[in-house]
Structures are given as structure tokens and as C-alpha cells.
Amino acid sequence: MVSTPKDSLFVLVKSLSKSEKRQFKLYVGRLGVNADAKFLALFNLLDKMKGYDENQILASGIVKKAQLSNLKAHLYKQILISLRLNPVNQNIRIQIRELLDFATILYQKGLYKQSLKLLDKAKTMAIENQEKNVAYEIVELEKIIETQYITRSIPDRADELAEQAKSLSRQNVITSKLSNLSLQLYSMMLKVGYVRNDADLQAVKRYFEDHLPEFNVNELGFREKLWLYKAHLWYSFLVQDFLSTYRYASKWVDMFYEKEEMIFLNPVFYLKGNHYLLESLFFVKYSSQFRETLERLEATVSNPDFPKNDNVASLAFLYLNSNKLNLHFLEGTFEKGLYLVNIVEYGITKHKGRIDEHHIMLLYYKIACLYFGVGDNKNCIAYLKKIINNKKLKMREDLMCFARVLSLVAHYEAGMDYHLEVQLKSTYKFLLKMNDLHAVQKEMIKFLRRLGDIYPTELKNEFQKLYNELKKYEDHPYEKRAFLYLDILSWLESHLQNRPVAEIIREKALVITR
């Protein structure tokens, strides 16, 4: 099926809530001459349309084809102005920018004292709220004004501004270098996943050390520390040092709880920090603290004062439900987690335009694991197919790999022997192509290929052999990542002991909790 390209204006109109649409019409109505404006007529038409259709717009007679592009651009701009005026969007950053804009207007009118007064107020707000990029911009404008109008009201004014500019510039440079490093490490994670061997480890370590800027930790503010912890966190993820990941994620989240106003100013970073903290707790199997962290996060997001916008709502949906699924995996309560399937499916549909394909596939993989845990292998396979058959994905190869391995196991469990053979060939081709045939995968596929030649009386013995072989890799620095995606050992134990896999995982969770 060929996907229809999305029109930016149409997507923007459809993203508006009822209150935002009402506000836009009130904004337009303030200027009486706009009551019958063409852009308002276009807005109303787009609002009613189910899909973008340029022919329908032209047939309406609102605008001629030659004028459509300009009219759409004008409408787009007017909607953004309306959204900017909406009290919901009036956060500290916009307030600081507004003061800077007003000060610029006063400066251009030659009202230097009034401009400097607003700039001083804006600068104080910016520094207090860790908005150091705009603070530097403000100082630069103050310097321009002072070169044209010497107030003489403050001694050594030039030295003070020069020192402020120097300090802010230094901090902004550190932040930029740390954010660049964090972004590059995140990119590595998406492209290739965890390190696979000593060569990968040394390459990542060398890259991290070469790009980590020099700094004095005592001079770092909230923003610089945030990017420092984020860079360390992604490095720890890449090298599979999950205790280190937990340490830096904890530092990240603790900063927000120590300075709670930052939660409401930076809700996205707050949500992401908690998500990474929960992910690291999941990997180290610390279920009791996982539950506490998740409950605290959910309580904060439910706070009436917590920022409400589309981006925050989408991230909250993604992180809360992804980690609710993980909690059921940790505790082995697969059956209790099935209620989340409908919630996740509805949320994916609702937030699809704001959640990337990679994260949607991760949710599908978790749902597949949930069904596998309750023994519903057909539904497990159905969700894995959504990942395996997705040709447009540019995502982590390791997720694609383990989706295929889990699919093999589910086909075996479902007794789908013919399909198993087809899946084996397909998985072999995929793994050889991506050069990622690691020990755990090799052993799993060798076992599944031999199944047709094993007598039923020998099956338990073969399960035991596979278990003994895989157990050696449980704490292997590079092979252990296989067990992060699928608890193969618990699955084998369930066959050896003739007990449900969920029961095995629950018992392990109780031992770890004690």
C-alpha cells in the first residue's frame, strides 16, 4: 500500500484540541475584517476533512491554485500565533522570549533605560531557570545598548557584562559538547545496539573518552549536569554496565526531586530520566524499587500542575505503559498484564503521529512477550509479525534479531512445524546478513533445527543440554543481552519442571526481592 504524504498544515489543524480551535476562531474574530477571511474559510474546511485533498479545496472556490500555497502559509502562521497566545503554552521559556522581544522593540525606539530594565528582568528569570542560551543572548543585547547609551548608574558595568558573557559562554560550550556526545552515543545505540565484542567496547570507550569535555564538576549547573549524566548513561547502556546506568539515571532523577520546579519547566527530561531509571532497574531485576519509582512517576504525572501538552502526553503514555508491561515481566504476572494490550493499542492510534516507529515496535515486542508468558503463542506470533514484516524500519538490529528468535520459539510452542522450518530459513538469512549470529542465538537455532530428529523420550534431556549450554552465557559481558529480550532460561526451566513459565519467573522475582 502506498502511503499518502502528509500535509503539514493539515496535520497541524488536526492536532488542535477543541479549546485550541475555539481560541483560534476568537483570535481571528478580534479583528472584524477577518470574519470572512479566506484563511478562516480554509481552516474550517480542513477541520472537516478526514484526509488532505487538494482537489476538494480547489473545488470549494475558497482559493485559486496559484494562491493556495501562500494562503496555506498564512493560515499556518496565524495558527501558531494563536497557540503562542494560549495561556496553556505560556511557560517560562516563552515568557523570557517575550520580555526579550519587548526589550528589542524598546531599544529600536531609542528607549534604552526601559529596554535595559526589561532585559535585566529577563536575564534574572533565564539564569534562575537554567535557560543559559537565551541568558547569553540577553547579555549580548545589553552590551550593544551600553555601547550606545552609557547609563553610569552602575560602576564597572562593562566588566560585569563581559564577565557574565564569558561565564555563560563557557557553560554553553560545555553543555553543547555534552549534548553532542549524548546524541552520538544514542545514535550508536539505535543503529547497532549494545557492544558485541572487545573491539566494539574499545571503540565506544575511545569515542566517549575523546569527546568528553574537561570540566570542574563544582562549577556545573543543573543543565550541564543533566547532559553529563545523560552522556554517561548512554555510554553505560552501550557497554551493558547496568549498575552504572542505574547510578547515573538516579543522579538525573534525583536532581529533579531536589529542585521540583525543574520538573514543571522540563517535563520531557523528567519523564525520560525516570524511563531510563526504570529501564536500568528492570535490567538489574530490582522489582521493589522498580514499583516504587513507577508509582512515584505516575503520581507526579497525575498532578494537576504537571504540564499538559501533546508531546508530554505522548511521552507519558509511552513511558508509563512500557514500564507497566516491564513490571509484569519482572514479577511474572503476565495474566494480570493483559489489560494493558487494549490501552497500548488505543494509545498507539491516538499518539501515532508523535511516537516514532522504533518505539511502537518496542511496544509490540513487549505485548508479544506478554502473550508468550501466558502461553498464547498465536497472538505472540501476530505481534512479532508486525515487527518482522515492517520493511520501512530503521531501528536497532538486535530488536529485529530477537523478535525473530522469539518467533521461532513461539512457532515451536504452537506446534506449527511447517511454519517453523520457513521461519528457521528466514531467520538464518537475516542473521547472516546482519553478521550478528552470536552464541545464544546459535545454540537456540541449532536446538530448534534438531527438534524434528529428536524422539519424545529424549526431549527432556535435550532441553537440559540446551539449558546447561545457555546458562554459561547468563553473565557473559556480550552474550547476556540475549536474556534482556527473552528469558530463555526460565522458558527452558518451565519445560524441565513441567510448570508454567510465569510461575518460574514469579519465584525468581521473590528470591531477588528477599
Tens of pLDDT, residue by residue over 133-164, are 999 999 999 988 887 765 555 557 778 888 88
Please report which confidence band the pLDDT of residue 398 belongs to, taking 50, 70 and 90 as the band edges: low
Please identify, among 37, 71, 89, the residue that sits at the C-terminal boundary of a domain: 89
Residue type, 152: R
Q: Is residue 506 part of a domain?
A: no
Grid-cell match 491554485, residue found: 65
Grid-cell match 525468581, residue found: 508
Q: Is residue 430 part of a domain?
A: no
pLDDT at 1: 33
Q: Is residue 211 part of a domain?
A: yes
Residue 361 has pLDDT above 60, yes or no: yes
CA distances from 305 to 16, 266, 436, 505 (A): 21, 13, 47, 38
Same domain, 74 and 97: no
Please identify, among 64, 89, 114, the residue that sits at the C-terminal boundary of a domain: 89
Give the C-alpha separation, 358 to 455, whole Å: 41
Q: For the chain, report the end-to-end CA distance as a whole number of angstroms.
A: 53
Same domain, 81 and 67: yes
Domain count, the chain: 3
Same domain, 108 and 79: no
Give the C-alpha separation, 357 to 94, whole Å: 30
Same domain, 98 and 146: yes
Task: Give the closest residue to 273 by CA, choosing from 289, 251, 299, 292.
Answer: 251
Q: What is the dihedral of CA 153, 154, 156, 158, to 10 degrees?
A: -80
Q: How many CB atoms lie within 10 A of CB 395?
A: 20
Q: Is residue 44 part of a domain?
A: yes
Same domain, 43 and 27: yes
Residue 82 has pLDDT above 70, yes or no: yes
User: Which tens digits make up the pLDDT trace of 291-315?
Assistant: 999 999 999 999 998 988 888 999 9
Give the C-alpha separation, 420 to 51, whole Å: 41
Same domain, 195 and 224: yes
Contact present, 222 and 259 (Cβ < 8 Å):
yes
Q: Is residue 16 part of a domain?
A: yes
Range 370-381 average pLDDT: 91
Give the C-alpha separation, 493 to 450, whole Å: 19
CA distances from 89 to 8, 336, 401 (A): 20, 38, 42
Task: Give the closest residue to 259 by CA, choosing from 222, 294, 292.
Answer: 222
Please report which confidence band the pLDDT of residue 394 belongs to, taking 50, 70 and 90 as the band edges: low
Grid-cell match 528569570, residue found: 125
Task: Give the closest residue to 503 by CA, choosing from 335, 262, 267.
Answer: 335
pLDDT at 33: 53
Q: Is residue 42 part of a domain?
A: yes
User: Which tens digits make up the pLDDT trace of 183-193?
Assistant: 999 888 877 77
pLDDT at 497: 85
Range 45-50 average pLDDT: 90
Give the C-alpha separation, 257 to 254, whole Å: 5
Same domain, 85 and 16: yes
Range 42-52 average pLDDT: 90
The SS3 assignment for 237 reads helix
Angle at 143 between CA 137 and CA 146, to 5 degrees: 145
pLDDT at 441: 75
Q: Is residue 372 part of a domain?
A: no
pLDDT at 491: 83
Please report which confidence band the pLDDT of residue 4 belongs to, taking 50, 70 and 90 as the band edges: very low
Task: Give the closest residue to 250 by CA, choosing from 218, 219, 273, 221.
Answer: 273
Residue 86 has pLDDT above 60, yes or no: yes
b/e burial code for range 96-123 (CB count within 10 A of at least 16 → b):
bbebbeebeebbeeeebeebbebbeebb
Same domain, 72 and 104: no
How much is the mean pLDDT over the chain?
85
Please report which confidence band the pLDDT of residue 179 belongs to, taking 50, 70 and 90 as the band edges: very high
Range 233-253 average pLDDT: 94
Please identify, among 123, 151, 179, the residue that sits at the C-terminal boundary of a domain: 151
Same domain, 53 and 98: no
Same domain, 22 and 74: yes
Angle at 324 between CA 493 and CA 196, to 5 degrees: 60
Share of the chain above pLDDT 90, in %: 38
Same domain, 75 and 37: yes
pLDDT at 432: 67
Domain limits for position 52 = 8-89
Give the C-alpha separation, 433 to 429, whole Å: 6
Cα dihedral across residues 506, 507, 509, 514: positive or negative: positive
pLDDT at 183: 92
Q: Is residue 113 part of a domain?
A: yes
pLDDT at 31: 64
Q: Between residues 246 and 398, which one has the greater pLDDT?
A: 246
Same domain, 84 and 37: yes
Residue 510 has pLDDT above 80, yes or no: no
